[in-house]
Every structure is written in C-alpha cells, then in structure tokens.
Amino acid sequence: MTEERETPRVTLEIVSQKGECPSGHKVGQKFDVSGATPGGLCPSAYHSAYPAIFALKFGGQLPWEEKEGTAHIACPDPENPVVMKITREG
C-alpha cells in the first residue's frame, strides 16, 4: 500500500514587474501553487516557476537562495519581466 504524504502549502507572489505584462500581473498578486495550475497565472510564468515549485513542495532547496524554503524566478519575457517569489509554508 502506498503511504500518502502531506505536502506543504506553496505560494507564488509577484514581487517585481517591469514594462507591461501581457497577462496583467501586478506586484502583490499571490497564487496558491500547492496543487494544480492556479487560474489567472500566466502559463509561461508557471512553466518557468514549476521546477522551483516542485523542489520546494517536496523539501528541496535552491542553492543560490539565502533563505530556506524560498525561490525567486523570472518569467521568460525579456521586454516585460515579472519576478516571482515562491515560498514553502511549514
């Protein structure tokens, strides 16, 4: 029998946005990314953030981050970059 494992809540917050994001993201928006792709989050931004979301969700850490349980990722739009902070809670 497979043992179910409770995973922590993981959130994504827009912390920087330059130019005009085609998806309308603004600093301060927050998304729960613990489960499925959240509605309203740009698919390209989610695609960029997913490896960090997955790592944090299962206890991993990105080696360049100073604070454990966090990651900073940018969307792939070089003209209108959006920076996201991903945080593992708990």
DSSP 90: -
Higher per-residue pLDDT: 34 or 87: 87
pLDDT in tens, 17-73: 999 999 999 999 999 998 888 888 999 999 999 999 999 999 999 999 999 999 999
pLDDT, one tens digit per residue, over 5-17 is: 678 899 999 999 9
Q: Which residue has the tokens 């996201």?
A: 84
Question: Using only C-alpha atoms, what is the Rg of the chain?
Answer: 13
Long-range contacts: 5-8, Cβ < 8 Å, 24+? 7/34, 7/57, 7/58, 8/34, 8/57, 8/88, 8/89, 8/90
**Do 77 and 57 contact (CB within 8 A), yes or no?**
no
